[in-house]
Amino acid sequence: MKIVSCITARGGSKGIFKKNMLDLYGKPLVYYSIDASLNSMVNETYVSTDDDDIKMCSLNCGAEVIDRPKELSGDVIMPDEALLHFTEKVDFDILVFIQPTSPMIKSKYIDEGINMIKSGKYDSIFTATKEHWLPRWSKDVKPVDWDIYNRPRRQDKSELYVENGMFYITKRENLISSKLRYSGNIGVVEIPLKDSFQIDNEEDLELVRKII
């Protein structure tokens, strides 16, 4: 059973310029995902990118590189399309799709997800963090799924999983048939809140720098 990872690290980014190459304690952001993959049960670690700097950095970090076409690297393109392009280039049985914006990723989380797939109980998994109920409001100040005249207690509401985007794992046949990062019987790798943060903007970056 061949297990590979695909780390999608395009050059463009609206929130932070060259985000995947930003310095985080002496290492580029993409390094943390590469390192976690290399130290996991993954057999081959790839970075899919359209950017020459990310390509050279990834090779230096020990990953292999798939050159992603520019038409699959824009802001409006979902990563699933890049994964399908990857599938045309690389043979595998199980794919670990990693987004390099979660620097607290750990190999033990990846291995947990892989073992869930290998158990035969799941076709796909994603990472998520448990969330206690909190009153949420829309931008036009309307309560979302609750009533101000009958405000529920937190303990009366079920906990929810919030997808944190750290990584996804799926079988090759599921990806090809569904064209989605997860399908079939889906499981969850629960990530502690302290390790779940993503870097999408400068505020996220400052927060992570205080935590990591």
Given a cut of 70, whether residue 88 has pLDDT beyond it is yes
Domain that holds residue 62: 3-128+163-211
What is the mean predicted confidence (pLDDT) over 191-206?
A: 91
The reply to whether 89 falls in a domain is yes
* pLDDT at residue number 106: 98
The reply to whether 140 falls in a domain is no
What is the mean predicted confidence (pLDDT) over 49-56?
A: 93
* pLDDT at residue number 72: 65
Domain with 96 in it: what CATH number?
Answer: 3.90.550.10
The reply to whether 149 falls in a domain is no
Given a cut of 80, whether residue 14 has pLDDT beyond it is no
pTM for this entry? 0.91
The reply to whether 54 falls in a domain is yes
The reply to whether 143 falls in a domain is no
Given a cut of 90, whether residue 60 has pLDDT beyond it is yes
The sign of the torsion formed by the CA atoms of 8, 40, 58, 91 equals negative
At residue 100 the predicted structure's pLDDT band, cuts being 50, 70 and 90, is very high
Given a cut of 60, whether residue 76 has pLDDT beyond it is no
Given a cut of 90, whether residue 141 has pLDDT beyond it is yes
- Helix (H) or strand (E) holding 210, with range, is helix 202-211
At residue 108 the predicted structure's pLDDT band, cuts being 50, 70 and 90, is very high
- Helix (H) or strand (E) holding 176, with range, is helix 172-178
Helix, strand, coil in percent for the chain, rounding step 5: 35, 25, 40
The reply to whether 141 falls in a domain is no
CA 150 to chain centre: 37
The reply to whether 138 falls in a domain is no
Question: How many independent structural domains does the chain possess?
Answer: 1
Mean of per-residue pLDDT scores for the chain? 92
At residue 58 the predicted structure's pLDDT band, cuts being 50, 70 and 90, is very high
Region of residue 51 (left: phi > 0; alpha: psi -120 to 50; beta: else): beta
pLDDT tens for 160-179 read 999 999 999 999 999 999 99
The reply to whether 88 falls in a domain is yes
